[in-house]
A and B are shown apart, each in its own frame.
Chain A
Amino acid sequence: MASETNLNAGIEEGVRRRDFINIAAVSFAGVGAVAVVLPLVNQMNPSADVLALSSTEIDISAIEAGQAIKTSWRKQPVFVRNLTTAEIAAANKVPLSELRDPQTLAERTKVGKENWLITLGVCTHLGCVPLGAAEGEPRGDFGGYFCPCHGSHYDTAARIRKGPAPKNLFVPPYEFTSDTAVTIG
C-alpha cells in the first residue's frame, strides 16, 4: 500500500497545474501572434503621404453658368459645375419620392451658392469617371452626368436616376474661402 501511494505522488486528479501552464503559454503566444498580425494588416491602409493630400484649392472665377471643370482631390476627380437657372429649376422640380437616394439640391450645395454643384467625379457604382463635365460629352437622359461603363444616369443635381449606381455622386467636404475660391477637403 505504502509503495503505491509513493508511485502516485505528484500525479493530480482533474485539472492539473501543468494544464494551467499549457493554457497560459498557448494563450500568451496567441495574443502575441494577433499583435503581430495587426501591423501586417494595417500596413495595407492608406499611408501618411496619401492621407496628406487631403485638401485642394480651386479657382472657380472662370466657370460660366452651364460650364463645369474637372479637378482632383485625393487623386480622385472632382466636378465643379456652375448650374444654369434652368438646371436648378429642373433639379428642384423632381419629387423626392422619385429618387433612389433622396436629397434636394439645397442639401447638396451651400446656402446662397445653390448654383455651385461640387461632387466627386466617381460613379457610385464601380468608380468610373462619368461623362458630362467637358463640353460636348453626353450628359445622359436627365441632363447631368452619364457613366459609360455600366450606364448610370445622373440628373442636374448629380443624383442617380437610372442605371446600376446606388447613390448620388458624393459631395466632398468643402468651403468657399471667397466668392471665387473653394477649398475641398
Chain B
Amino acid sequence: MSFPWAKQYEPRQPLMKWLDEKLPLPRLVYNAVGAGYPVPRNLNYFWNFGVLAGAALAIQIITGIVLAMHYAANAGVAFNSVEHIMRDVNAGWFIRYAHMNGASMFFIVVYLHIFRGLYYGSYKAPREMVWLLGVVIFLLMMATAFMGYVLPWGQMSFWGAQVITGFFSAIPIVGEPIRQWLLGGFAPDNAALNRFFSLHYLLPFVIAGVVILHIWALHIPGSNNPTGIEVKDEQDTVPFHPYYTAKDGFGLGVFLLVFVLLAFFSPNLLGHADNYIPANPLSTPAHIVPEWYFWPFYAILRAFTFNFLWIDAKLWGVIAMFASIALLFFLPWLDSSPVKSSTYRPLYKKFFWVLVVDVLVLGYCGKSPAEQPYVIMSQIAAAYYFAHFLIILPIVSRIERPAPMPNSITEAVLAKHADDTSAATA
C-alpha cells in the first residue's frame, strides 16, 4: 500500500530503533497518520470530518467509561442514579451533558462525512470497501445510540425501547418471539435495561475496531480529493503530517467550540423534556419522537399507513426503514459513472442537492406528529429517497455528459491558483 514516494520511518534514537525491531508500533502510526502517509494536496475542509468523527468517538468512550462508574443499570434505580450523577457526583453534570451532546456532535460530523462522500464520489472504486465499512460503522452507531438513550429510564427511554423493539414484531410468525427474546420479557423492563447497558458499553469498542478497518481500507488506494482524480505522482500529494494534522487540528478546534457551546449553554436543546419523567409502562407520552439523528428514518417508517400487496403497513414501514440504510451498501454499484466528483457532474450535482433537501424534509416530518400534512409529505419524500438511489442515480450516471476534467490534481490546483491571481490583478 501507499505510494512509492511515501517517507520512510527512520528512528534515530537507540531506544526507538530497539522498539522498531521488537514492535514497530511507532512505524505503524507514522505510516497511518504521520509523515509516511501521502495525501492529495487539495483537500478542503470537508475532509476534516473523518478525524472529527474519530475525536467524537474518543470523547464518547472516555465520558462513557466515567459515567458507568456512577450509573446503576437497574430499572428500580437507573433514573435516580442519573439524577445522582447530575446533582451529587463531582462534575457529573458536565460529564453527562458532554456524553449526551457528544452523541449529537458525533452524528452531525458523521452525516457531514457521509454527504461529503456522496458529493465527491468517495464511495466509488477503488474505495468501495471504505464505504461499505463506513455504512457498518453507521449502523453500529445507531444501535449504540439507541441503547444509550434507553439507559436513563425516563419516559422517552422506555417508549423508545418499546417502539424500536416493536419493529421486530412486524416479522411474520417469529417476530413476537424475537421481540421477547431481545427484551427478555413481554415489555421493556429490568432484563432489557441490563442487556442494553452491557451492549452499550461493548459496541463503541466494536466501532473502534471497524474504524481501524475503515482507515486500513482507505489507506490502500489513499484518500479521495475534491477533483475525484486519482493521485498520479509525488507533486499531487503532501505528507499527512504536518499538513493535515494542522488542518484537522484547526477543524477540531472549531468542532470543540460548537460542542462546548452546546454542552454548556444549551445542553437539553436536542433532548426531550419527557425523558426527565421516570419511565411509566402504563402511559405513553403524547408525542413520542426519537432523537434528531433518527428523524429521517422514523419518517420513512411512518410513511406506510396502508397495506400494499399481501404485506401489511407495519411490515412495509419496517422494511422501508431498514432498506433505506441497506440501500447504501449497493451505492457503489448503483452509480456507474466513472467520474467521482460532483464538480465535473453537472446533472448529478443538482440531484445531490435535491437529495439533501429531501432528507431534511424527511427529518422534519419525522419530528412532527403522525398527522396531515406530514404523512403525505413523508410519503412523497420517502418515495423520492428511494427513487434517487434506485432510479435517478443509475439513469443519470448513464446519460450525463461530464464537464471537462483536468489531467491531474496538480493541474487542477495550479489552474485554480492562476484564476485567483488573474482575478486579483484584474
Give residues in A with beta carbon < 8 Å to B: 41, 44-47, 50, 70, 72, 74-77, 100, 121-122, 124-129, 147-151, 163-166
- Check A45 against B184 for contact (C-beta < 8 Å): yes
For residue B308, give the distance in angstroms from its CB to the closest CB of chain A.
12
Determine the residue in chain B with the shortest Cβ distance to A124.
B314
Enumerate chain A residues within 8 angstroms of B169, measured Cβ to Cβ: 126-127
Pick out which of these stretches binds chain A: B235-243, B258-266, B278-286.
Answer: B278-286
- Check B180 against A127 for contact (C-beta < 8 Å): no
Report the bound CA distance from A77 to B417 in whole Å: 69
Enumerate chain A residues within 8 angstroms of B187, measured Cβ to Cβ: 74-76, 122, 127
Enumerate chain B residues within 8 angstroms of A127, measured Cβ to Cβ: 162-163, 165-166, 169, 187
Report the bound CA distance from A74 to B189 in whole Å: 10
For residue B154, give the distance in angstroms from its CB to the closest CB of chain A.
16
Q: Which of A47, A129, A164, A165 contacts B191 (CB 8 A)?
A: A47
Enumerate chain A residues within 8 angstroms of B370, measured Cβ to Cβ: 148-151
For residue B379, give the distance in angstroms from its CB to the closest CB of chain A.
12
Determine the residue in chain B with the shortest Cβ distance to A54.
B186
Query: In the complex where A45-B181, A164-B313 touch, is A125 in contact with B284 (Cβ < 8 A)?
Result: no
Determine the residue in chain B with the shortest Cβ distance to A72.
B282
- Check A163 against B305 for contact (C-beta < 8 Å): yes
- Check A128 against B313 for contact (C-beta < 8 Å): no
Report the bound CA distance from A104 to B424 in whole Å: 82
Q: Which of B166, B185, B287 contacts A75 (CB 8 A)?
A: B185
For residue A140, give the distance in angstroms from its CB to the closest CB of chain B.
12
Interface residues of B in 299-314 (CB under 8 A from A): 302, 304-305, 307, 312-314
- Check A126 against B186 for contact (C-beta < 8 Å): no
- Check A70 against B282 for contact (C-beta < 8 Å): yes
Q: Which of A45, A50, A124, A150 contacts B189 (CB 8 A)?
A: A50
- Check B163 against A149 for contact (C-beta < 8 Å): yes
- Check B185 against A46 for contact (C-beta < 8 Å): yes
Interface residues of B in 169-199 (CB under 8 A from A): 169-170, 180-187, 189, 191, 195
For residue B10, give the distance in angstroms from its CB to the closest CB of chain A.
47
Report the bound CA distance from A77 to B281 in whole Å: 7
- Check A50 against B162 for contact (C-beta < 8 Å): no
User: Does residue B371 face the partner (Cβ distance < 8 Å to A)?
Assistant: yes
User: Does residue B288 face the partner (Cβ distance < 8 Å to A)?
Assistant: yes
Enumerate chain A residues within 8 angstroms of B287, measured Cβ to Cβ: 148
Enumerate chain A residues within 8 angstroms of B283, measured Cβ to Cβ: 129
- Check A45 against B313 for contact (C-beta < 8 Å): no
Q: Which of B195, B284, B315 contacts A149 (CB 8 A)?
A: B284
User: Does residue B167 face the partner (Cβ distance < 8 Å to A)?
Assistant: yes
Interface residues of B in 249-284 (CB under 8 A from A): 281-284
A selection of 26 A-B contacts at a CB cut-off of 8 Å is A44-B195, A45-B180, A46-B180, A50-B186, A50-B191, A70-B282, A72-B282, A74-B186, A74-B187, A76-B186, A77-B281, A124-B314, A126-B164, A126-B167, A126-B314, A128-B159, A128-B284, A129-B282, A147-B284, A149-B159, A149-B284, A151-B370, A151-B375, A164-B304, A164-B314, A166-B315
Known contacts A72-B281, A127-B166, A129-B284; 15 additional CB pairs below 8 A are A44-B182, A45-B184, A46-B183, A50-B189, A72-B282, A100-B307, A121-B282, A126-B164, A126-B166, A126-B314, A127-B187, A148-B284, A164-B305, A164-B313, A166-B312
Determine the residue in chain A with the shortest Cβ distance to B283.
A129
Contact residues of A: prevailing secondary structure: loop
Query: In the complex where A76-B281, A148-B284 touch, is A164 in contact with B186 (Cβ < 8 A)?
Result: no
Q: Which of A46, A70, A148, A151 contacts B286 (CB 8 A)?
A: A148
Determine the residue in chain B with the shortest Cβ distance to A164.
B313
Enumerate chain B residues within 8 angstroms of A150, measured Cβ to Cβ: 302, 370
User: Does residue B317 face the partner (Cβ distance < 8 Å to A)?
Assistant: yes
- Check A125 against B166 for contact (C-beta < 8 Å): yes
In the A-B complex, the 10 residue pairs with the smallest Cβ-Cβ separation, listed nearest first, are: A126-B166, A151-B370, A166-B312, A127-B166, A128-B284, A126-B163, A74-B186, A164-B313, A129-B284, A127-B162
Report the bound CA distance from A149 to B191 in whole Å: 25
Report the bound CA distance from A126 to B284 in whole Å: 12
Report the bound CA distance from A68 to B379 in whole Å: 36
Report the bound CA distance from A122 to B287 in whole Å: 16
Enumerate chain B residues within 8 angstroms of A163, measured Cβ to Cβ: 305, 313
Report the bound CA distance from A128 to B170 in whole Å: 14
For residue A126, give the distance in angstroms from its CB to the closest CB of chain B.
4
- Check A47 against B186 for contact (C-beta < 8 Å): no
- Check B181 against A44 for contact (C-beta < 8 Å): yes
- Check B314 against A46 for contact (C-beta < 8 Å): no
> CB-defined interface of B225-250 with A at 8 Å, one 1/0 digit per residue?
00000000000000000000000000
Enumerate chain B residues within 8 angstroms of A124, measured Cβ to Cβ: 314
- Check B282 against A77 for contact (C-beta < 8 Å): yes
Enumerate chain A residues within 8 angstroms of B164, measured Cβ to Cβ: 126
Q: Which of A47, A100, A148 contacts B184 (CB 8 A)?
A: A47
Report the bound CA distance from A125 to B354 in whole Å: 32
Determine the residue in chain A with the shortest Cβ distance to B159.
A128
Enumerate chain A residues within 8 angstroms of B189, measured Cβ to Cβ: 50, 75
- Check B185 against A164 for contact (C-beta < 8 Å): no
Kindly name the residue among A45, A164, A165, A166 whose own CB sees the greatest number of chain B CB atoms within 10 A.
A164
For residue B242, give the distance in angstroms from its CB to the closest CB of chain A.
49
Query: In the complex where A75-B187, A148-B284 touch, is A166 in contact with B166 (Cβ < 8 A)?
Result: no
Report the bound CA distance from A95 to B216 in whole Å: 63
Report the bound CA distance from A100 to B307 in whole Å: 9
Enumerate chain B residues within 8 angstroms of A50, measured Cβ to Cβ: 184-186, 189, 191
